């Protein structure tokens, strides 16, 4: 008994700091991604760059940046809408999955309670076994059936996210875009994206994007990022 208590204490001593460290890393990563999106939105001249710090809305802004890049090349895209829709679908699928999990747990508890609530017959079966078995089986089927939808939603989101990220990389650093996107996929895209957002090349080329966005009426005519540099006769 004492050994079990000691083992649980040791396990908690390692688990709690690890969980706190993981939470801290997640918060730092999220903050850096928000700052990177905010920085690029600022360089592109968007007024609503504060959306970079709002969950879900920052994904819309990320897509908006990719759309800006495509528009500067004479192409129209809808990354902002696609990423926003896929993010909402992904969250909805996870929410449904969570609800099904809760139902599964509740049914399991009710099934356990039915063994004591209903008397057993001559053959050893409780009168509540049939109902509990049906409910457990149904919730299990729903749980299993929801997994492919969650996987597909996640895959679709990641595909469009990395395509959008590649378009941004390719515009600002075309010679290194493939290396950057590969590193982003297999390492940490958010830390790399944060470093990328503060590169001098990004600061310089943003003036061309703002010029095009003004022409199409995406940003106000007087929009500027006040970066303190001069590029192409325009303050960036």
- Dump pLDDT digits (tens) for 115-130: 555 555 444 445 455 5
- Dump pLDDT digits (tens) for 149-170: 888 888 999 999 999 999 999 9
Over residues 178-203, mean pLDDT = 80
Contacts of 147 (CB under 8 A, 6+ apart): 97
Q: Is 34 helix (H, G, I), strand (E, B) or coil?
A: helix
- Dump pLDDT digits (tens) for 65-116: 999 999 999 999 999 999 999 999 989 888 887 887 777 777 666 666 655 5
Q: Give domain limits for the chain.
A: 2-220
Over residues 203-228, mean pLDDT = 81
Contacts of 146 (CB under 8 A, 6+ apart): 93, 96, 97, 100
The overall pTM is greater than 0.95: no
């Amino acid at each position: 008994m004492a050994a079990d208590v000691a083992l649980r204490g040791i396990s908690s001593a390692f688990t709690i700091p690890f969980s706190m460290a993981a939470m801290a890393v997640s918060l730092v990563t999220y903050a850096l991604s928000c700052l990177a999106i905010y920085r690029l939105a600022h360089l592109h001249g968007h007024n609503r760059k504060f959306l970079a710090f709002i969950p879900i809305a920052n994904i819309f802004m990320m897509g908006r940046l990719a759309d800006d890049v495509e528009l500067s090349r004479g192409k129209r895209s809808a990354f902002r809408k696609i990423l926003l829709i896929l993010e909402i679908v992904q969250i909805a699928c996870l929410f449904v999955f969570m609800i099904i999990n809760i139902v599964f747990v509740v049914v399991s508890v009710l099934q356990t309670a039915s063994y004591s609530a209903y008397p057993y017959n001559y053959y050893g079966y409780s009168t509540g076994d049939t109902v509990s078995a049906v409910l457990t089986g149904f919730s299990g089927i729903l749980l299993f059936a929801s997994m492919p939808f969650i996987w597909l939603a996640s895959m679709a989101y990641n595909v469009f996210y990395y395509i959008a990220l590649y378009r941004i990389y390719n515009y600002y650093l075309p010679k290194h875009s493939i290396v950057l996107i590969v590193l982003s996929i297999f390492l940490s895209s958010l830390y790399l994206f944060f470093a990328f957002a503060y590169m001098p090349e990004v600061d310089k080329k943003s003036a061309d994007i703002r010029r095009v966005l003004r022409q199409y009426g995406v940003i106000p005519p007087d929009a500027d990022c006040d970066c303190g540099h001069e590029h192409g006769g325009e303050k960036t």
